[in-house]
Amino acid sequence: MITVQHWLVLSGMVFTLGLCGVMMRRNVILVMMSIEIMLNAANLALVAFNKHLAPVAGAVPPDGQVLVFFTIAVAAAEVAVALVIAMLLFRRLDTVNVDDVANLRW
Amino acid sequence: MEALVFWIAAAAMVGFTLLTIAARNPVYSACFMILSFAATAALFVLLDAYLIAAVEVLVYAGAIMVLFLFVIMLVNLRESEHEGLRLNPLMVLAAGTFLALMSRAVKDLGSAVQEAPNALVGTPGTLADTLFSRYAVPFEAVSGLLLAAILGTVVLARRKEDA
């Protein structure tokens, strides 16, 4: 029997892997891919909660799944803009290493 | 049967995600990530979220990862710039703390949540009913956001001499 705990632990493990990716990788494209991994893990948790936290009686509204739609749309918009910024970074500074772009760092 | 599919898909998802963040070559990372999204789509099917599973494959594994691959090819890193992993004890501590706190919270959930007796099925019809009634305004807002993203991308990507 697969319970909601199984889904949440899976989601948490994948989210942690994405977090590790953001912290360990220095290539800006890989950092963005790790962010996508984290968003994906959150989507999984949303859908799992939608299935398991639904009210006992009456029709079940798919609110969680609708929210996942919005997450995917926002992720697509974010990736498009972020990848152009990465391309501009490469065009102007000839690097995609986040350590080389620390001008604004305090 | 359901449990078997869950364990296989979950193992595939975690394994391919691990390979994504560990691969030295960014192109390999992107390919492993597509496989990880495929496993995620299988998990969504297991949760009866059929439409979300289809969208996951079409939008994530299709559109977004192709975008990533395009940019990786455009940036075209030299072999020497394929960086390895950088491991810092603080990172391990942060990730471990997060995972421990999360597991603790999940354990506290206990038996408070049970599967709904009348199973929710995420077909296009049930989702559209909700999306175009209660979530009509956020839906329009997201279309505005996507338009802004398209315009922003075009403006950013334009070379100076075209201006």
A35 touches chain B (CB under 8 A): no
Using the CB atoms, write b or e for B113-149: b if 16+ within 10 Å.
beebeeebbbeeebbeebbeeebeebeeebeebeeeb
CA distances from B24 to A7, A97, A101, B78 (A): 29, 14, 21, 12
Mean pLDDT of A43-62: 74
- A31-45, A54-68, B44-58: range with lowest mean pLDDT: A54-68
Mean pLDDT of B100-125: 71
Mean pLDDT of A32-52: 91
Please determine, for residue A74, whether its predicted confidence score (pLDDT) is greater than 50. yes
Residue-level pLDDT at A57: 44
What is the overall mean pLDDT for chain B? Answer: 84
Residue-level pLDDT at A60: 62
Mean pLDDT of A40-68: 79
Q: Would you state the structure tokens that stand for residue B58, as one six-digit string? A: 């079409």
What is the overall mean pLDDT for chain A? Answer: 85
Residue-level pLDDT at A35: 94
pLDDT band at A58 (very low <50, low <70, confident <90, very high): very low
Residue-level pLDDT at B101: 85
Chain A contacts in chain B segment 106-135 (CB below 8 A): 106-107, 109, 113-120, 122, 126-127, 130-131, 134-135
Q: Best of A19, A33, A94 to disrupt the B interface by mutation (most B CBs within 10 Å)?
A: A33
B94 touches chain A (CB under 8 A): yes
Determine, for residues B71 and A50 on separate chains, whether the beta-carbon distance falls below 8 Å: no
Per-range mean pLDDT, top range of A64-78, A88-102, B68-82: A64-78
| Burial class, B43, CB count within 10 angstroms (exposed 0-12 / middle 13-18 / buried 19+) | buried
Residue-level pLDDT at B108: 73
| Complex-level ipTM | 0.88
Q: How far apart are CA B161 and CA B45, in angstroms?
A: 49
Please determine, for residue A106, whether its predicted confidence score (pLDDT) is greater than 80. no
Q: Best of B111, B132, B140, B153 to disrupt the A interface by mutation (most A CBs within 10 Å)?
A: B153
Question: In chain B, which residue's Cα lies nearest the Cα of A15?
Answer: B99
Per the CB < 8 A criterion, the answer to whether B77 and B26 are in contact is yes
Residues of A in contact with B29 (CB under 8 A): 30, 33
B49 touches chain A (CB under 8 A): yes
Sign of the torsion formed by the C-alpha atoms of A75, A76, A79 and A81? negative
Residues of B in contact with A37 (CB under 8 A): 17, 20-21, 33, 36
Residue-level pLDDT at A75: 92
Please indicate whether residue B7 or residue B80 has the higher confidence score (pLDDT). Answer: B7
Question: In chain A, which residue's Cα lies nearest the Cα of B43?
Answer: A44
Mean pLDDT of A49-66: 71
